[in-house]
Amino acid sequence: MRKIIRKTISYLRQDLHNVGCAFGHAFGFAFAFVFACIFACVTLTSCGSGQDNVPLYEYDAYYLNKENTKVLRVDYESQLENTEENTKALVGELIYVLSNVAEKPEYVPPISGNVVLLNYTLSDGQLTLDFSELYYKQDKIQEILGRAAIVRTLSQLRGIRTVSFSVLEMPLTDSAGLPVGTMTAESLVDNAGTEINAYEQAQLHLYFANEE
């Protein structure tokens, strides 16, 4: 930027030097100096304000650890605000984030390896992610954790109410062959930052009928 300003001042001095031959050297150089100072101030002010005044909005991005035992949260900042108008653009941006390695190498992106995303559609608040046939080749725990990481990341967007998975445009099924169905962040076991368990622990009250 300083080089550009110096060149601009140099060119102005040369041009105004020729003008100064007719109207006086003193007036020509004085005008060039004042104009160059104004140009430099305006340029530097506009460049500085353009970089400092861009608002950033915070989101949560979820990854897996290398042992496939945890879902880890990562802070992510975007220039897009979390509004329904920005939902489609934010989906593409967050999918890109979940497909690439985080700053910490021990964090594994959930959309990688056998998780090959072919397409996604958003309709009436339902986001459908369609994967290749390699999706079913994942380890069971890895699949559950990866699915949780993806759903948690994308369901925080205001324009998304539910998330569903499909494989080659067929609804995703579990190990028993039953459709997984639509998902939300609340429908998944909360294991972020803790060891995954096969079952979620809950306190239940059991009632038994007496002989009567």
Can you tell me the distance from the alpha carbon of 52 to that of 143, in angstroms, rounded to the nearest whole number? 41
Q: What is the pLDDT of residue 187?
A: 82
Can you tell me the distance from the alpha carbon of 157 to that of 179, in angstroms, rounded to the nearest whole number? 24
Can you tell me the distance from the alpha carbon of 90 to that of 157, in angstroms, rounded to the nearest whole number? 8
Q: Which residue has the tokens 């329904």?
A: 84
Spans of the chain, pLDDT less than 70: 1-52, 189-212
- Whether 16 and 33 have beta carbons less than 8 Å apart is answered as no
> pTM above the 0.85 mark?
no
pLDDT tens figures, 76-134: 999 999 999 999 999 999 999 999 988 888 899 999 999 999 999 999 999 999 999 99
- Whether 161 and 125 have beta carbons less than 8 Å apart is answered as yes
Q: What is the pLDDT of residue 170?
A: 97
